[in-house]
Structure 1
Amino acid sequence: MTFVADHAETIRVLLVDDQELFRRGLRMVLEADPGLEVEEAQDGLSAVAQATASPPDVVLLDVRMPGMNGPEAAGAIKEAAPSARIVMLTASDEESDLLDSIRNGASGYLLKDSSVDQVSDAVRRVASGQSLISPQVATRLLEEFRVLATRDEPEPRGTKLSDRELEVLRLVALGHNNKEIGRALFISENTVKNHVRNILEKLQLRSRVEAATYAVRERLLDLP
């Protein structure tokens, strides 16, 4: 089901990718949605310049680009236009790229094999203040960090969380949105939002993307 934004205002999107064919094709598809207004940039440097001159609502940003890469551009864009929300849209599912992107202010991370509906939903979700991580990337993170399950470490900060908060955090780390988490746990979407807010406050994190990454790093999940 396609996410419906809370407002009818046009969302200004800056699409940044050095592959012109991909960039132009995605722009054509996104602009079929009357609620999205799309501009383009061919690399990180030009994206920073455009975002500085005219801050977009959402930036769709590739990770691997010549010159200034995606995470570097994300950091510069957030400095120049703090209100801009950034979604990495990339072919890379490498953990290092994900973590660099999050550290530099990305609110979402999608792979380029995502459907057009998923990309449109991502734009609307981050524009409304949500953060996201695609299920494919969440699965990759879980696979990368399985080895940590046997590592001897001090008690993690996750012990501050209630049992219900740990359940919510696990589903967040698996890439589920609030509505899906609510259905899985038989609670309302507003209750899920409250749990996520409490989790972020207790763990001193800024977004659910950071929470998902933290969860797998600190062995807060029951990995099979």
Structure 2
Amino acid sequence: MIHILIADDHPLFRAALAQAVKALEADTEVLEAGSLASAQAVLDARPGIDLVLLDLHMPDSHGLMGLATLRAAHPAVAVAMISADDEPETVRRAMAYGAAGYIPKRSDGDQLHAALRTLLDGGEYLPDDLADRLGALPASDDDDDRTAARLAQLTPQQFKVLTLVAEGRLNKQIADVLGISERTVKAHLSALFEKLDVRNRTQAGVLLKSLQLRDLVPAQRDAPA
């Protein structure tokens, strides 16, 4: 059986997508999450999930930070973005940060079926028109590639520490949240500073926050498939 997690904060879209996925892939269990936090909880509780379809602009996801968070904690799980935002630069950044594919919410049933088959077979998916638009972009300055490579070096626990640092938490607060000692927090900070090539927690927080994207207006975010 295939196990797919749909993470989207809009209930009607989530239900419609779940119905479409079940219709296309009969032997499939579809799980749902309405926030990044609940998606993380499902992945922690259900290690056998094959694919996550992640909305780009959930309120607690902060753009690409949600993608980076799931990829850091569950590197073996394929995560594909599904969004009304199909700006080529946004898509390029998502792919640089480890997205297995990018499915516009305007996709019809045939496109969704092609996406699922490609992703479940271990491939990367972009619709043809979006791939053409990405190909027409000017060459990247590779900042996203470098940042993605640095973040990929972090362990899941180090990434959690980094996320809390970006929220402005102090070492004691981080220790309390993660149930570890302050000495361990300091050790994680030293390691992640070295891996990210930054000198202090301010620079580390700025690097993580660079994953944030502009928010879409509600009409765009909630556009049906």
- TM-score, length-scaled by structure 2: 0.56
For 1:69 and 1:117, the matched residues in 2 are separated by: 30
Post-superposition shift, 1:123?
2.0
For 1:24 and 1:111, the matched residues in 2 are separated by: 16
For 2:128 and 2:88, the matched residues in 1 are separated by: 14
Checking the alignment, whether the CA contact within 8 Å between 1:52 and 1:77 is kept in structure 2 is: no
Q: Which residue of 1 aligns with 2:38?
A: 46
How many residues in Structure 1 have an aligned counterpart in Structure 2? 139
Q: Which residue of 1 aligns with 2:58?
A: 65
What is the identity percentage for the equivalent residue pairs of Structure 1 and Structure 2?
Answer: 33
Task: Please point out which of 81, 92, 95 is paired with 2:85.
Answer: 92
2:80 partner amino acid: V
The equivalences for 1:137-152 within 5 A come to 137-145=130-138
Q: After the TM superposition, which parts of structure 1 deviate over 6 Å for at least 4 consecutive aligned residues? A: none
Task: Please point out which of 3, 25, 46 is paired with 1:12.
Answer: 3
1:11 partner amino acid: I
For 2:79 and 2:63, the matched residues in 1 are separated by: 10
- Over the aligned positions, Cα root-mean-square deviation in angstroms equals 2.3
Q: Which residue of 2 aligns with 1:171?
A: none
- TM-score, length-scaled by structure 1: 0.56
The equivalences for 1:154-165 within 5 A come to none
1:25-64 residue CA offsets vs partner (Å, 9 max, x unmatched):
1111211231221111112222122112213100111111
Aligned-partner SS, 1:82: coil
Aligned-partner SS, 2:5: strand
Aligned-partner SS, 1:65: coil
Unaligned runs of 5+ in 1: 1-9, 149-224
Post-superposition shift, 1:111?
0.8
Aligned-partner SS, 1:31: helix
* Alpha-carbon distance change, 79 to 52 in structure 1, aligned in 2, over 3 angstroms: farther
Post-superposition shift, 1:66?
0.8
Post-superposition shift, 1:83?
1.6
Q: Which residue of 2 aligns with 1:105?
A: 98
1:158-208 residue CA offsets vs partner (Å, 9 max, x unmatched):
xxxxxxxxxxxxxxxxxxxxxxxxxxxxxxxxxxxxxxxxxxxxxxxxxxx
Q: Which residue of 2 aligns with 1:22?
A: 13
Post-superposition shift, 1:72?
1.7
Checking the alignment, whether the CA contact within 8 Å between 1:47 and 1:73 is kept in structure 2 is: no
Task: Please point out which of 85, 104, 115 is paired with 1:122.
Answer: 115
Checking the alignment, whether the CA contact within 8 Å between 2:111 and 2:127 is kept in structure 1 is: no
Post-superposition shift, 1:70?
4.8
Aligned-partner SS, 2:102: strand
